[in-house]
Amino acid sequence: GILTTLSQTNGKYKYDYATIPFLAEVFKLIVSSVFLWRERKKSPPPKMTTDWKSVRLFPIPSVIYLIHNNVQFATLMYVDTSTYQIMGNLKIVTTGILFRLFLKKKLSNLQWMAIVLLAVGTTTSQVKGCGEASCDSLFSAPIQGYMLGILSACLSALAGVYTEFLMKKNNDSLYWQNIQLYTFGSIFNMARLVVDDFRGGFEKGPWWQRLFNGYSITTWLVVLNLGSTGLLVSWLMKYADNIVKVYSTSMAMLLTMVLSVFLFSFKPTLQLFLGIIVCMMSLHMYFAPPHMLVDIPPAIKSDPESLVNVPVDRKTDS
């Protein structure tokens, strides 16, 4: 991939970038297997559908994520990282659209406004100050970069919505569903490593011999972070939905920016503060009950004792 090539040329990273998602998938598979093993010891045992008609659906999100990763690399050929990060917020809106179309979840007008506000808030927090060199780069990328960025946002939303459909289509154990999902994920990521070996002519040997080459504590923490995040997302897909995932991801990103101010002497910008305010407004608008957002006058109940009988003269036809 592009990131692997860059890391090898500048000497900043000594490892193969493609091994990280593979190890993260293996980590999630092992953890899910352990939890399923413990769950099967309980009574009654968890439900586990082994019908091929059900199992064959689980490779689909792995294929979508594989295509999405390649589109990401292709997008970075045309745009810089700042522009790509800002364009990535499109997946907030595309997730809401696919959430409505495929899962038939109806959203109110206020909730649609909240989703758009969330995209605006996260984008605002990422835009740098005017006058900086990177500020103009957002509008200087070729049209191919924007098209690939939109495609990347649609693929990310499609994979998330389809995964939620898989998790909720039956009452199977979450860990059994995870095992199916991460087994195919590991296979597809391993296939990518094999393809990279053939492309490179096995110059550095087969992938399993260099799997841990250049790994440090930081690299292992990245693998652990990716694996743990994936497991937590599976819980959200099973017991919540994609919109909750979008909000949790966006709020985590803003929290990371705030923590960077204290931990890494990151200089906060006006855009960051405005973005946080807009995102908090969006969060309240989406999840708050309607009566907290709109002043609805209380219904006036009529008191039967206060009613006044008004005589009505009836005219009879002569």
pLDDT in tens, 172-224: 999 999 999 999 999 999 998 999 899 888 888 888 888 898 898 988 998 99
- Per-residue model confidence (pLDDT) at position 188: 92
Q: How far apart are CA 42 and CA 67, in angstroms?
A: 39
Spell out the domain ranges in the chain. Answer: 20-292
- Per-residue model confidence (pLDDT) at position 10: 38
Q: How far apart are CA 36 and CA 45, in angstroms?
A: 10
| Region 52-59 average pLDDT | 92
Pair 234, 152: CB distance under 8 Å? no
Q: How far apart are CA 204 and CA 139, in angstroms?
A: 40
Tell me 84's DSSP state. H
- Per-residue model confidence (pLDDT) at position 25: 93
Q: How far apart are CA 55 and CA 177, in angstroms?
A: 9
Write out the two tokens for 310.
């008004």
> What residues contact 110, with CB distance under 8 A and at least 6 apart?
285, 286, 290, 293
- Tokens 């995870």 belong to 178
**Weakest-pLDDT range from 91-100, 191-200, 222-231, 303-312:** 303-312
The number of beta carbons lying within 10 Å of the beta carbon of residue 44 is 5
- Average pLDDT of the residues of the chain: 83
Could you tell me the pLDDT band of residue 158, with boundaries at 50, 70 and 90?
Answer: very high
> What residues contact 209, with CB distance under 8 A and at least 6 apart?
none
> What residues contact 47, with CB distance under 8 A and at least 6 apart?
170, 171, 172, 173, 176
Q: Is 31 exposed, middle or buried (0-12, 13-18, 19+ CB in 10 A)?
A: middle
Could you tell me the pLDDT band of residue 135, with boundaries at 50, 70 and 90?
Answer: low
Share of the chain above pLDDT 70, in %: 84
> What residues contact 150, with CB distance under 8 A and at least 6 apart?
87, 90
- 248 has a pLDDT exceeding 70: yes
Backbone phi and psi for residue 151, each to the nearest 5 degrees, phi listed first:
-60, -40
| Region 46-71 average pLDDT | 90
Pair 75, 152: CB distance under 8 Å? yes
- Tokens 């973005």 belong to 275
Q: How far apart are CA 101 and CA 165, in angstroms?
A: 12
Tell me 305's DSSP state. G
Could you tell me the pLDDT band of residue 137, with boundaries at 50, 70 and 90?
Answer: low
Measure CA 22 to chain center: 19
- Per-residue model confidence (pLDDT) at position 307: 52
Tell me 204's DSSP state. T
117-126: per-residue pLDDT in tens? 999 999 888 8
Helical spans, DSSP H, in 142-269: 143-168, 174-199, 217-239, 242-263
Preceding peptide of 304 cis, ω within 30°: no
